[in-house]
Amino acid sequence: MPVIGFHNSHEQVHPAALLRAVQHAEEVGFTAAMCSDHLTPWNPRQGESGFAWSWLGAALATTSLPFGAVNAPGQRYHPVIIAQAIATLGAMFPGRFWVALGSGEAMNEHVTGDKWPRKELRDARLRECVDVIRALLAGEEVSHDGLVTVDRAKVYTLPEQSPALIAPAVSVATARNGADWADGLVTINQPHDKLREMIAAYRDAGGRGTLALQVHVSWDPDPAKALGMAHDQWRSNVFPPPLCWDLDSPEAFEQASAHVAPEDVTEAVRVSADLGQHTAWLQEYVELGFDQIYLHHVGVEQQAFLDAFGSHVLPQLGVTVPAPAVAVPR
């Protein structure tokens, strides 16, 4: 039985409205949740930037869902601060929190004034951050000199069971590289052959744990509205790496996407007015081997989507019981 979760996009929805949305998601049958962690939206029309870690405390306290967050330690966030945040949520909400640790995007990270490193340096910095965070979650005092610097850090409030540290990946190489440190893999909807290759690369390199997928969807009973909503909100998100890593502002993404046509967005977003079609697409992802699927409705308004998918899509996928805890003992 798959876990079907609700993805909360802080770039698009005011945090108070997003909190109401995730509470409603639980009411209509979604069995897990995850959220982004951005300083800026992807384009000026999205227009929000709620602080994920404040919001996560409220969301975990007012639902019973397990939650994940996508985070980039190393530049905007020092890894010691992220370790403390992970530990506190893990201690307060045992077995209900996981975090995906990635190398980040320039648009969120350039605000420190530090140089935006080359990808190989960002990957090396991420690995240092992962090692620091794991050691702190194990109760160790950590000093480290490298691409990040740590001086005698220790986290005193620790969870009994460390939350899972997940590798986020959009490429085969990144999936393979995450296999030696991660407790699971999370990616986004891409062509099936690419997803199969990523899963194989992760597993063949020794990758363990949960396979999770974030799926961008756009639904409205009116097909034209469903497509228009996807184009309005998500046309700035159709670019593959390295462009999406290196553009440094919402305005830059807006300019880059000026000539993206509505039909081009369907390569990144599953757009349909047919709930049966959405069900079929999600079933295909289950058959590919994903244990958890998180739906990101790219529109700003969430309730109609939640009601429709809760009534007509989740039951067809067999979603009838709460999701298992995500945390992985080490």
State pLDDT tens for residues 76-97. 999 999 999 999 999 999 999 9
List, for residues 216-263, the tens digit of each pLDDT value. Answer: 999 999 999 999 999 999 999 999 888 899 999 999 999 999 999 999
Which pLDDT score is estimated for 325? 44
Q: Which residues of 190-214 are buried (b: 16+ CB within 10 A; e: fewer)?
A: beeeebebbbebbbeeebebbbbbb
CA 99/CA 102 separation, integer angstroms: 10
Q: Which residues of 63-72 are buried (b: 16+ CB within 10 A; e: fewer)?
A: bebbbbbbbb
State pTM to two decimals: 0.94
How many Cα atoms are found within 13 Å in the side-chain-facing hemisphere of 86?
A: 34
At which residue do the structure tokens 């998918």 appear? Answer: 309
List the chain pLDDT tens, one digit each, 330 residues.
789 999 999 999 999 999 999 999 999 999 999 999 999 999 999 999 999 999 999 999 999 999 999 999 999 999 999 999 999 999 999 999 999 999 999 999 999 999 999 999 999 999 999 999 999 999 999 999 999 999 999 999 999 999 999 999 999 999 999 999 999 999 999 999 999 999 999 999 999 999 999 999 999 999 999 999 999 999 999 998 888 999 999 999 999 999 999 999 999 999 999 999 999 999 999 999 999 999 999 999 999 999 999 999 999 999 864 444 444 433
Q: Is the peptide bond before 242 cis (omega within 30 degrees of 0)?
A: yes
Which pLDDT score is estimated for 241? 85
Going by their DSSP bridges, the two strands 97-101 and 142-145 should be labelled as unpaired
CA 293/CA 211 separation, integer angstroms: 9
Average pLDDT of the residues of the chain: 95
